DNA sequence: AAGGCGGGGAT
DNA sequence: ATCCCAGCCTT
């Protein structure tokens, strides 16, 4: 039997019952695909439910503020997805009168929609035979066909896309695409795949050659940078604090945080000297600063390790642009800040 | 072509 | 620790 027939059969027998598989409405499919970019189903599921619940249509999403969208996205990471999702919702609602692009090429014009997502939506919603190539597809195809081209090389990207295109089932492209991905997620896993009970184990090239653990081939990863974050957490006697919006490009764009002193080097010693000086100048009766966490929290991102110290500033000064602490949870923040807020306030 | 962009889960 | 996850965008 053909590769794709076996996979589609396997899919119909083993697929998980997921909410976005119960609809072909492009709004819901689009929403699920954006949420699932670089995100496991288990992690994305609750966010999908929350978005469907709070924004039942593209118009509801379009009419929300970016702060609201980012707040609902909080904790999911890769926040450009949320900003692009919102921008595209406004475009669809207000420029296209709520009508989704009706094919791969039209979908590709949406912000945050690349080859993978356009192929997924076009195949699932419109039966367009565009093959998806995500991390699962790279793994399944590289193993089954024994392809050793690095998946993150220009050559590999084209080679796997072409291979996937020759394999797609033209009668049920959406089911085929989802079948390969589900197969990669559940059966042909990165570590310890269960090849003993695999429906493809009689024809899998990598299994035959005993090189399953070597595939797919991926070129070297980027190295991690260390940065030092000192957050100034103001708490006034009238229960006000200060949050600032990260407007610059880079991590956490448009999310909120406490005033931050960021450095490439550890400035703890300098910081302690200066904050003692500050206490003496301002006067301890109006202003007291203490270190909250004795050991820095190390917040690990995929490409940065943030050594973070929170400094508590108790003060009876009225600051401009301060917010009442009872409103602090309305602001979208990085999970690092959200966790601190839950621990420190009330 | 290379690097930036999150946070959580599996091993 | 290291790798991976229904990738996309900028430089």
pLDDT, tens only, A164-200: 999 999 999 999 999 999 999 999 999 999 999 999 9
Which chain C positions have some atom within 7 A of a protein CB? 3-9, 11
Distance (Å, whole) CA A311 – CA A296: 11
**A284 pLDDT tier (thresholds 50, 70, 90):** low
Tell me how far CA of residue A23 lies from CA of A31, A47, A83, in angstroms.
12, 17, 24
Q: Is strand C in 7 Å reach of the CB of A114?
A: yes
Cβ-contact A177, A131 below 8 angstroms? yes
**Torsion from C-alpha of A118, A123, A124, A127, nearest 10 degrees:** 140
- DSSP output for A4-40: HHHHHHHHHHH----GGGG---HHHHHHHHHHTTT--
CATH level 2 (architecture), domain A225-344: Alpha-Beta Complex (3.90)
Listed in order, the ranges of chain A carrying CATH 3.90.79.10 are: 225-344
Tens-digit pLDDT profile for residues A99-134: 999 999 999 999 999 999 999 999 999 999 999 999
What is the rounded distance in angstroms from the CA atom of residue A192 to the CA atom of residue A36? 23
Between CA A56 and CA A309 the distance in angstroms is 40
Q: Check: CB of residue A160 under 8 Å from CB of residue A229.
A: no
Q: Is A285 a catalytic residue?
A: no
A40: the nucleotide nearest its CA (via C1') is C5
Determine the protein residue whose CA lies at the shortest distance from the C1' of B5. A78
Weakest mean pLDDT among A78-82, A257-261, A284-288: A284-288
Q: Count of alpha carbons within 13 Å of A36, Cβ hemisphere only?
A: 26
Q: Contact A177/A120 with Cβ under 8 angstroms?
A: yes
Q: Centre a 10 Å sphere on the Cβ of residue A51 and count the other Cβ atoms it contains.
A: 23
What Å value separates CA A172 and C1' C8? 27
Provide CATH code, domain A3-214.
Answer: 1.10.340.30
Q: Output the distance from A327 CA to C6 C1' rounded to whole Å.
A: 36
Residue with minimal CA–C1' distance to B3 is A222
Reported as half-sphere exposure (CB side, CA atoms, 13 A), residue A199 has a value of: 19
* C10 C1' to A239 CA distance, Å: 41
Q: Where in chain A is the domain with CATH 1.10.340.30?
A: 3-214
């Amino acid at each position: 039997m053909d590769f794709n027939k076996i996979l589609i059969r396997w899919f119909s027998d083993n697929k998980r019952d997921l909410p976005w598989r119960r609809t072909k409405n492009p709004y819901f499919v689009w929403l699920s695909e954006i949420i699932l970019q670089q995100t496991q189903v288990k992690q994305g599921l609750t966010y999908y439910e929350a978005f469907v619940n709070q924004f039942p249509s593209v118009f509801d999403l379009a009419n929300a503020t970016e702060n609201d969208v980012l707040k609902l996205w909080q904790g999911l990471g890769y926040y450009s997805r949320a900003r692009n999702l919102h921008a595209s919702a406004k475009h669809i609602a207000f420029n296209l009168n709520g009508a989704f692009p009706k094919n791969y090429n039209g979908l590709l014009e949406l912000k945050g929609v690349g080859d993978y997502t356009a192929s997924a939506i076009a195949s699932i919603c419109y039966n367009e035979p565009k093959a998806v190539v995500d991390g699962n597809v790279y793994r399944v195809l590289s193993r089954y066909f024994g392809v050793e081209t690095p998946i993150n090389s220009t050559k590999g990207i084209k080679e796997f896309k072409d291979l996937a295109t020759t394999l797609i089932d033209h009668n049920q492209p959406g089911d085929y695409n989802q079948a390969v991905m589900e197969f990669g997620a559940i059966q042909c896993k990165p570590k310890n795949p269960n090849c003993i009970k695999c429906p493809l184990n009689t024809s899998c090239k990598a299994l035959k050659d005993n090189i399953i653990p070597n595939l797919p081939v991926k070129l070297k990863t980027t190295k991690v940078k260390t940065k030092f974050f000192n957050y100034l957490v103001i708490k006034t006697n009238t229960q006000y604090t200060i949050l600032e919006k990260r407007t610059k490009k880079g991590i956490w764009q448009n999310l909120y945080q406490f005033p931050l002193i960021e450095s490439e080097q550890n400035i703890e010693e300098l910081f302690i000297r200066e904050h003692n000086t500050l206490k003496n100048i301002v006067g301890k009766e109006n202003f007291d600063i203490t270190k909250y966490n004795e050991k820095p929290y190390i917040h690990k991102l995929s490409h940065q390790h943030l050594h973070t110290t929170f400094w508590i500033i108790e003060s009876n000064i009225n600051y401009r642009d301060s917010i009442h602490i009872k409103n602090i949870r309305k602001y979208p923040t990085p999970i690092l800040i959200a966790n601190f807020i839950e621990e420190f306030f009330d």
